[in-house]
Amino acid sequence: MTERFSTYADFWPHYLREHARRETRALHYAGTLSGVLLVGFAVVIGPWWLALLALVAGYGPAWISHGFIERNRPATFTHPLWSLLSDFRMVALWMTGRLGPELAGAMAMAPPSET
């Protein structure tokens, strides 16, 4: 059954728990950063189709990681905007060295059904 969240504050820890494995997060980082670069190139130098390729580069590795590493369903399918925001947030926290405490806090508050 899919969980529904009424606030982003409730969704964020769930999102982190769905990305518990380092390998999953690494593929998300690679996809997100590649997607951002491709959109940047599309805006600055073109061609426009690079923006479409950014979707494949961004979501492809993430969805593969959920299927083969985490073995769960990507949050994109049920909470697309919160999932995208969380992906950027997770990458930013990782790049600034602040993701560890966020992950630890999310894991500590896992509901019994997620442990």
Q: Residue 109 to residues 48, 75, 104: CA-CA distances in angstroms? A: 43, 19, 9
> For position 112, what pLDDT does the model report?
63
CA distance 24 to 43: 29
CA distance 4 to 104: 22
pLDDT digits (tens, 9 = 90+) for 86-108: 999 999 999 999 999 999 999 99
pLDDT digits (tens, 9 = 90+) for 60-80: 999 999 999 999 999 999 999
Q: Is residue 7 part of a domain?
A: no
Q: Is residue 35 part of a domain?
A: yes
How many structural domains comprise the chain? 1
> For position 101, what pLDDT does the model report?
97
Read off the amino acid at residue 85.
Answer: L
Residue 53's domain spans which residues?
14-110
Q: Is residue 90 part of a domain?
A: yes
Q: Is residue 53 part of a domain?
A: yes
Q: Is residue 32 part of a domain?
A: yes
pTM: 0.88
Beta strands, E only, the chain: none
